[in-house]
Homo-oligomer: A and B are copies of this chain.
Amino acid sequence: MAPPKALLLSAVSKFFEYDTPRIVHIRSKKVGIINRFIQLVIIGYIIGYVIVYKKGYQEFDNVQSAVTTKVKGIIFSNDSDIGTRTWDVADYVIPPQEANAFFVMTNVHPTLLQTQTTCPESISVSGAQCQSDEYCQKLLGTILPKGNGPVTGSCVPSGYGNVSVCSIFGWCPVENNVTFDARAFLASANFTVFIKNNIEFPKFDVTRRNLPEPGSIQLPENVTSIDAYLNSCMFNGDNPRDKYCPIFRLETIVNGAGVTYENISQEGGVMQIIIDWTCDLDYSENSCLPEYSFRRLDKGDYSISKGFNFRYADHFAMMVNDTSVMYRNLYKATGIRFLVTVQGQAGQFRIVPLLLNIGSGMALLGIATVLCDFVVLYLLKARAFYKEKKYLDVKGQDAFEVLREDSESKTSNEVKRRNQRLGEVTDANGSDA
């Protein structure tokens, strides 16, 4: 609008302008109620769900965690297979330490004092059985599928009845997987594990651990210090205090996943211990406490892949007639692998996320208008009337003509006259009357 000679001024004037949409303000019970209802739903969603329920006013940070575990427990076995002996942690926890995990052996099938020599192949290896050396000679040097070593070519007694097998060269004697029952020798309900979990929320510079802080829990009487409590306590999910005790009976963990200890300890399996740190740091840090839950991760029901077991060996040498010979003890270890998963996040009030959620929430209010307009302009009896109020019908030079001559002719004359200099506008008896 500014004359060309004052472009700058007009620019400045632009700065002092404000555009706001023109509104049709409809007073109508029907429309109003629809409108307010939809608005209510949307605002309810924004405030109730986004802001309050989803804590839209908070900034979040994920947990950084370190887990160390210490299993405790002694068990005495008196068994033909694994002998009369006492087992402690250094025997049945393999490897001695892992990150976020530990394995407890519940059953073991040892093959002791193996050395590299020749011996009969296992009779359970298909193709190992023989009647004569010729058969084995044909296999000379080959390793049978699932076999234990290259065939030497001689047919020897297997030691089981009068069955003969080809002899092989390898770790001898070979593992006897004929007579091995799946009892859980080493499964003791008394084993416990101390799970030490230090976490941090770097963004909020908050560090916590799963050992109750003094004051954060109420000690039992006759227990004076947290240390004393930790020396005696045992995790119990149902107890408001002991559900924060970081010492777990293995059986509690297994049962917590709805599995019986006998069941899983025979075939072995994989358990998950979930430590959840979901903290609202708008409250005291002391209310930021872990929650434990347990799941069984393997649900094996195929014979081929049942449970969880693996083979390992202790290698060593022995002096035999003043010469050292390499030996190994082979163990087929069955047991429970415990994985410790630490998850969760902390939130704390920040102004930015709040504004953003409100802002983007308000954008949703546009939906109310869309829906109401639909009702008002297409459903209501007086829709023609409202439409006319809402719309200013403007016909451009290149409007698409739909046999409108008649309808226009009505008013065309003075309209034309009025609008020559402007272009063209149809007088739809609109708000410009």
Contact = CB atoms under 8 A, between A and B. Distances in A.
Interface stretch (A17-25, A154-162, A215-223, A277-285): A17-25
Interface string A366-397: 11011011001000011011101111111111
Contact of A360 (B94, B143, B360): B360
B90 A198 contact: no
A138 interface: no
A300 B70 CA distance: 15
Interface in A186-201: 194, 196, 198, 200
Nearest to A194: B305
B98 A99 contact: yes
A51 interface: no
Contact of A366 (B339, B362, B432): B362
Given A6-B403, A319-B320, A431-B431, A15 B32 contact: yes
A298 B389 contact: no
Interface in A33-84: 33-36, 64-66, 68, 70, 72, 74-76, 84
Nearest to A341: B64
Interface stretch (A144-152, A235-243, A248-256, A259-267): A144-152
Contacts of A432: 431-433
A163 B46 CA distance: 74
Nearest to A94: B96
Given A19-B23, A209-B299, A363-B364, 14 more contacts: A3-B403, A15-B400, A17-B35, A18-B35, A19-B26, A21-B21, A22-B23, A25-B391, A86-B150, A88-B148, A91-B328, A196-B300, A317-B327, A385-B422
A112 B84 CA distance: 21
Given A227-B303, A366-B362, A298 B68 contact: yes
Nearest to A385: B423
Chain A interface size, as a band, is 35 or more
Contacts of A314: 314-316
A96 B272 CA distance: 20
Given A272-B66, A305-B194, A315 B297 contact: no
A275 interface: no
A206 interface: no
A1 B25 CA distance: 13
Contact of A226 (B66, B112, B302, B398): B302
Nearest to A320: B319
A76 B149 CA distance: 7
Contacts of A10: 402
A247 B425 CA distance: 77
A211 interface: yes
A3 to B, nearest CB: 7
A324 interface: yes
A198 B297 contact: yes
A389 B386 contact: no
Q: Which of A15, A84, A359 has the most CB of B within 10 A?
A: A359
29 contacts: A2-B402, A15-B36, A18-B35, A19-B24, A20-B372, A27-B399, A27-B400, A28-B396, A28-B398, A29-B398, A31-B396, A64-B295, A70-B310, A84-B116, A86-B170, A96-B311, A99-B337, A113-B324, A194-B305, A198-B270, A209-B299, A211-B302, A211-B305, A230-B304, A317-B318, A326-B329, A385-B422, A386-B423, A389-B392
Nearest to A395: B27
Interface in A393-433: 393-400, 402-404, 407, 418, 422-425, 429, 431-433
A402 B6 contact: yes
Contacts of A25: 17-19, 391-394
A399 B70 CA distance: 76
Contact of A29 (B91, B326, B399): B399
